[in-house]
Structure 1
Amino acid sequence: MLPMQKKQNKKQGERLTTLLPYLIALASGILMGLTVAPVGAWFLAWIAIVPLWVLVVTSAKGKNQFPPAFLWGIGFHGVALFWITGIHPMTWLGVPWLPSLVITLFCWGFISVLGGVFLTIWAAIMVRLGGKKPWLRVLIGTAAWCGLESLWSAGPLWWSSLAYTQSPHNLVIVHLGQLSGPNTVTAAIVAVNGLIAEGWMNRRGTEGAEKISSVFSAPWRFVNKYWVIATGLLITLHLIGFFLYSRPIAQPPEAALKVGIIQGNIPNRLLRSSEGFRRAQENYTNGYLTLADQGVDAVLTPEGALPIFQRNLMQTALVAAVKEKGVVAWIGAFGERGDSYTISLFTFNSKGEIVSRYDKSKLVPLGEYIPFEGIFGGLIQRLSPLDAHQVPGSANQIFDTPFGRAIASICYESAFPEQFRRQAAAGGQFILSSSNDAHYTASMPFQHHAQDIMRAIETDRWSARATNTGYSAFIDPHGRTLWMSGYNTYETHVETIYRRQTKTLYVRWSDWLTPLLLGLSILGWFVQRVIN
């Protein structure tokens, strides 16, 4: 019996040893997912990639580096985007309970698996090109991560950049986004993690280790040059961010704009009904009148505040109130384009006339259109009665208002920094963000607010954010939240923002850092090949 027990224990130990790398990778990915709302443990981002990095590099000669990377990606994106499951049940849309569950799990699972694929590609690049030099691995690992995030964000399914793990808690480091966009923050996080990982693999007692002092080696036995560089880099990056964060914000009186926000708080399950429309008319009209009496220059409403088409807007009580009070209003409703429709934000001037319109250009997959319709369209249509005739707006729109050109964003677009950068470069002087996150759990609108904070910092603009049920907010160019509404509450609020015409390096030159890192990586790889 004893030999048999030893054999069984040995097999169990071998099984555990085999599974351990996968468990470590999944756990560290989950830790990265905890950096955002609802937990907000942002500091974990600076160490959560270390286990993955070590596993990928140390198993480079084997065949086990890809499954851990895949699990890490699923852990991060699955936890960070768990709020997607809040859309279930969609019975208010006419979707039966079980098909609603299937659609919800499909959405969550698909984006989580896509995150796993993203990390698997990154691991493959590290293994094939990383080489044996730690400095080259850090350079290539950082460049590859930024390059892959750029590619992913160019498509329709994008939200969870590494950069947003630092918003809204670490505004100092988020200010690096003014230099080259969110990839600047992503590069900082990956580089620091990579240096810590290389320090671990080259710690005292392993090949390549270096002692800080031959005399006082004992106190420094866990310290080497990679950890010193990582620490110095982390401090330096925060000092640069602090310098940008500390710059004063000019507030000339002639640039002031007194804006009112209405948070209508109408559940989506009611919004399309006659009762919901009645409440929308009442809440937004009364809110507009209240704000107009407070002397605002303009009023901002959420995405789809009045769920009707443009041709019917002129007959609403809200537009009648605009004509009466003469205060500019930005009203969320539906635009028309042939037989299709758009989600739009309309500018009504003091006479109650529509003078500009912005159409949402980044649509929510499955919720507002069917991605890969040729492949999945038939399946989704069988599961759901949702109408798929919504179309996106043009990618190069401008949004002129009676107060100058604005940067407009509708809901999901907050995750796409290039949308904001382009409009800022075209003369946008302030941000108007109109959203409706009512069908998700509270962590989603808080993550959405974190995205808007990053966009305000990157473009150096004041931002007014109106949502249906929360969290509405006003944000200054340093990403500081001047006011934020409650959740599932009806609220109106007034704040003064300022029009600005400054242009950050990111607004002027777009993301110049990622091409630079990729170029240096290619050069470094080529040099290493020549030397060897």
Structure 2
Amino acid sequence: MRSFFDKLKTAPATQKTHRISLGWVCFIALMAGAILPFALAPYHFWWLAILSPALLYACLHQRSSKHAFLIGWAFGCGLWFIGAFWLYTSIHIYGDTSSVLSVILIALMASIMGLFNAVQAWVYRRFFPETPLTFTPLWVIFEWLKTWLFTGFPWLFAGYAFTNYGLDEYAPLFGIFGVSFVVILIATAFTECLFGKRFWLIPIVLVILGAWGAKQLHWVSTKTEAPLSVSLIQGNIPQDLKWLTEYQAQTLSIYATLSQNEWGRDLVVWPESSIPMFQTEIQPFLDSMSTQAKIAHSAWVTGIPYWQEVKSPDKYPQYYNAIMASGMDTQGLYFKQRLVPFGEYIPLAGTLKWLLPGLQQGISSYSAGHDHQTPLMIKNHRLAAAICYEIAYPNLTRQNAKDNDFLVTISNDAWFTGTTGPWQHLQMVQMRAKENGRWIIRATNTGVTAIINAQGQIVKQLPVDTRAVLRGDLPAMTGETLYSRLGDWSILVLSLLLLLLGIGFKPAVVDTSYKQRR
């Protein structure tokens, strides 16, 4: 292993020694990015989250900023092509796109997302000295940028690999980016050790001991009242049938039948868009379900497309992806805040109105709910909500979780049946539970439906692609984690301070005219 890293390490131009060509280094970086997704769910080869960034760090050693851009881009392309290949199912099978074109589209997406790693590597070699104390904070800042830049795609973070593997004990303190910080610091410090700088063993030992110490801290506690009994309904409706008009009655019948024996429990939850019609089209059915819930002293929460009229002649009606609560001592309505580009809304639709006027109407143009919505009230409990991939946004979930007793997230991952996507999604839910110290119940159409405790551990779950009900208990929690109070600011400020310290040191001089000698 050490000799391999030594070959990646570029010797100064004054030394007559061989080094790996740029082409081979880019290939190694491509493979390094491609193996990182296997550190995540459902594979859980967590050690790859150490090896992958360690290889990238070694590949960048003594490279020019221009070369670093290409190396970082190769790494990002490998990461996103493999890590997000679950998009193939939605594009090819449900999008009716040829297999060749589907792969091309995923490759295009990977090349665009890979620019994050490309710019990160360029900035690192252009402005900073080569050290884990500059590489690590840059990695974290660019992960954070993925949560909001260009609407955000917060996926494939290195820290997720350590969900329930020790280093996630930093999550209640500093969130997912704090976990990623520690993971990348270990990876790069390990690389420096292989380069002969053994003193980097010290920070490795310190952060591992820090994780053990963080585990001894208790930020939240269980409330004294009895937990709610919950039933999560997994209808397993195939995606190609879900929105067909002729299948709507059968969909409603499936969910109503599965819930028939669950009325009487404290809370019954249906997944995202389990009701495939607007509330105005199906009011009698909603009233019937609400009445059954009230008679049985149950609360009922369901995902539903929600239509809201706008009293203005020059504006179209507003459509929302919503969660609605009703039943005994229950009320609330939550509108999804983070929408899926091109799936739930068209970016720059107003600008493109003259070119594509049809995009201004229809279900492809949901509206986003506003910030700081009132939580759902479930029998004197405050239930924070998140719909589908909203749960992937750490700060959004943190804001929704504040001062609430527990969280519910509903999703329809039928678009990605049989892929790694739903499992990666579930792993993020686990991290959100750990960050905020709250239990999370997750109801999905095809899986993975699960109950997750405040430590981020899966208590119960249903098999995927099955029609079933998951029963369990949901304790209410009180207290705040450090991350709940400070959010991402603590780890971002630390990262910026390290970069400010690093920028004062002159980067190593690289002779870009150096050619490989044989």
Partner of 1:265: 236
The structural deviation recorded for 1:460 is: 0.3
C-alpha distance in 2 between matches for 1:238 and 1:522: 24
User: Match of 1:516, as an amino acid?
Assistant: V
User: Match of 2:118, as an amino acid?
Assistant: T
C-alpha distance in 2 between matches for 1:297 and 1:465: 16
Higher helix share: 1
1:133-165 deviation digits (Å, cap 9, x = unpaired):
x5xx32222222222222220242313242453
Partner of 1:483: 460
1:117-147 deviation digits (Å, cap 9, x = unpaired):
111111122112222xx5xx32222222222
Contact kept? 2:159, 2:183, Cα under 8 Å: no
Q: Secondary structure at the match of 2:36?
A: helix
User: Match of 1:66, as an amino acid?
Assistant: F
C-alpha distance in 2 between matches for 1:15 and 1:200: 17
Partner of 1:7: none
User: Match of 1:420, as an amino acid?
Assistant: T
C-alpha distance in 2 between matches for 1:41 and 1:179: 24
| 2:112 corresponds to 1:141 | no
1:356-412 deviation digits (Å, cap 9, x = unpaired):
1001111122221223547889999999x9842211111221213133221101101
Partner of 1:503: 480
Partner of 2:106: 108
Partner of 1:22: 26
Counterpart mapping for 1:34-433 below 5 A: 34-60=38-64, 63-89=66-92, 96-98=96-98, 102=101, 104-105=102-103, 108-131=106-129, 137-155=131-149, 156-166=151-161, 168-170=163-165, 172-201=166-195, 203=196, 224-226=198-200, 228-244=201-217, 250-292=221-263, 295-316=264-285, 317-338=288-309, 339-350=317-328, 355-373=331-349, 387-401=363-377, 402-425=379-402, 427-433=403-409
C-alpha distance in 2 between matches for 1:164 and 1:311: 43
Contact kept? 2:71, 2:121, Cα under 8 Å: no
Note closer, same or farther for the CA distance 1:24–1:230 as it changes in structure 2 (3 Å cut).
Answer: farther
C-alpha distance in 2 between matches for 1:75 and 1:284: 41
Q: Secondary structure at the match of 2:305?
A: strand
C-alpha distance in 2 between matches for 1:85 and 1:96: 11
Partner of 1:439: 415
More moved, 517-526 vs 50-59: 517-526
Q: Secondary structure at the match of 1:391?
A: coil
* Identical aligned residues as a percent: 25
Cα RMSD over matched residues? 3.0
Note closer, same or farther for the CA distance 1:404–1:390 as it changes in structure 2 (3 Å cut).
Answer: same
The structural deviation recorded for 1:478 is: 0.8
Partner of 1:513: 490
User: Match of 2:346, as an amino acid?
Assistant: I
Which structure has more relative contact order (CA 8 Å, sep 6+)? It is 2
Contact kept? 2:146, 2:154, Cα under 8 Å: no
The structural deviation recorded for 1:438 is: 0.6
Contact kept? 2:173, 2:481, Cα under 8 Å: yes
The structural deviation recorded for 1:50 is: 1.3
Contact kept? 1:77, 1:160, Cα under 8 Å: no
Contact kept? 1:284, 1:318, Cα under 8 Å: no
User: Match of 1:392, as an amino acid?
Assistant: A
The structural deviation recorded for 1:90 is: 5.1
1:453 alignment partner, one of 430, 455, 458: 430
Contact kept? 2:223, 2:478, Cα under 8 Å: no
Contact kept? 1:139, 1:517, Cα under 8 Å: no
User: Match of 1:343, as an amino acid?
Assistant: N
Contact kept? 1:138, 1:191, Cα under 8 Å: yes
Q: Secondary structure at the match of 2:177?
A: helix
User: Match of 2:71, as an amino acid?
Assistant: P
Instruction: Give TM-score scaled by structure 2 length.
Output: 0.84
- Unaligned runs of 5+ residues in structure 1 are 1-13, 204-208, 210-223
Q: How many residues align?
A: 478
Instruction: Give TM-score scaled by structure 1 length.
Output: 0.82
C-alpha distance in 2 between matches for 1:15 and 1:51: 15
- Unaligned runs of 5+ residues in structure 2 are 1-17, 310-316, 508-518
User: Match of 2:328, as an amino acid?
Assistant: S
Note closer, same or farther for the CA distance 1:18–1:151 as it changes in structure 2 (3 Å cut).
Answer: closer
Contact kept? 2:160, 2:431, Cα under 8 Å: no
The structural deviation recorded for 1:255 is: 4.5
C-alpha distance in 1 between matches for 2:411 and 2:114: 29
Partner of 2:312: none
The structural deviation recorded for 1:84 is: 1.0
The structural deviation recorded for 1:480 is: 1.4
The structural deviation recorded for 1:88 is: 3.2
1:324-369 deviation digits (Å, cap 9, x = unpaired):
4341100111112331311111010228xx8210011111222212
Q: Secondary structure at the match of 1:299?
A: strand
C-alpha distance in 2 between matches for 1:88 and 1:424: 33
More moved, 436-445 vs 157-166: 157-166
Note closer, same or farther for the CA distance 1:278–1:526 as it changes in structure 2 (3 Å cut).
Answer: closer
C-alpha distance in 1 between matches for 2:63 and 2:453: 46
Note closer, same or farther for the CA distance 1:16–1:508 as it changes in structure 2 (3 Å cut).
Answer: closer
Q: Secondary structure at the match of 1:186?
A: helix
Q: Secondary structure at the match of 2:75?
A: helix
The structural deviation recorded for 1:529 is: 6.0
Q: Secondary structure at the match of 1:408?
A: strand
C-alpha distance in 2 between matches for 1:24 and 1:233: 30
C-alpha distance in 2 between matches for 1:46 and 1:379: 47
Note closer, same or farther for the CA distance 1:237–1:72 as it changes in structure 2 (3 Å cut).
Answer: farther
Note closer, same or farther for the CA distance 1:54–1:481 as it changes in structure 2 (3 Å cut).
Answer: same
The structural deviation recorded for 1:237 is: 3.9
Contact kept? 2:430, 2:456, Cα under 8 Å: yes
Contact kept? 1:157, 1:365, Cα under 8 Å: no
The structural deviation recorded for 1:463 is: 1.0
Note closer, same or farther for the CA distance 1:313–1:168 as it changes in structure 2 (3 Å cut).
Answer: farther
